[in-house]
Amino acid sequence: MTALSPENPLLQWDQLHLDWWLAQVRTFPTLTVVLILTAGLVILLFGRMIFRVVIVLNAMLLAGYAGWELGRQINRPWLAAVGLAVVFGLLAWPLFKFGVAGLTGTLGSALVTQIGSLFPRAAPYWLIISAAGFVLFSVLSWFLLMIAVTVFTSLEGATFMVVAAQVLTERAGMVIPSLPEGFAGGLLPTHFAILILAVLGIVYQVGAAKAPAAAQTPPAKNEK
């Protein structure tokens, strides 16, 4: 059991970096990675339509992770993880607007921390930087709800897909040595790929949301 302390906090600088999450996915079984890729595709294309489900699942995952880390302090990680996941999942459905604000704030926190990591001198101030990103994105999402939902689900879906695809291509490179090094050697421009895919997801989701409204609009009558 490791006690929480300023030297060993619940959330660390590395855990807000994409590289840390990529390293975690590399430890997953291949079937799990394929499921992450599939989930990413669904969230990328249909996140706006099923946003309540996405918000609930995200709230449960984040609460479960926090519960696991806190539960380790009392040697009850599974109990704390499942308990917090269930509670936050139940609350996220009726209080989805708060859920969107919290998750979008978390995304903003990770984004500004990722940018801040480009500047080594910013490392000692990572908590302030991430908190500022959380507050800014949470406030924006409260007033721009559906925009926040679309951006969040597109970025999350794109991240799931790119990270999972990168891990799968790395494993394929171990089986097929003739694969190009840029694909098998983990040299994909991950951030750029996520950005491009997220933009495509936003365009698709916005277009899909406008299609039913356009179909219901009666055609204009020709004036004589």
**Alpha-carbon gap, residue 28 to 204, rounded angstroms:** 30
For the stretch 109-136, pLDDT in tens is: 888 877 777 777 777 777 788 888 889 8
Contacts of residues 202-207 at CB distance under 8 Å and 24 or more positions apart, as own/partner, are 202/150, 202/151, 202/154, 204/44, 204/45, 205/45, 205/46, 205/47, 205/48, 205/150, 205/153, 205/154, 206/150
pLDDT at 219: 59
Kind plus residue range of the DSSP H or E element containing 204: helix 190-216
Give percent above pLDDT 70 in the chain.
Answer: 78
pTM: 0.73
Question: Angle at the Cα of 19 (from 132 to 52), degrees rounded to 5?
Answer: 60
pLDDT at 128: 85
- Assess contact for 45 and 157: CB atoms under 8 A: yes
Res. 33 pLDDT band, cuts 50 70 90: very high
Q: Spell out the residues 6+ positions from residue 189 whose beta carbon is closer than 8 angstroms to its own.
A: none
- Assess contact for 158 and 198: CB atoms under 8 A: yes
Q: Which two tokens stand for residue 196?
A: 């491009």
Sign of CA dihedral 115, 120, 121, 124: positive
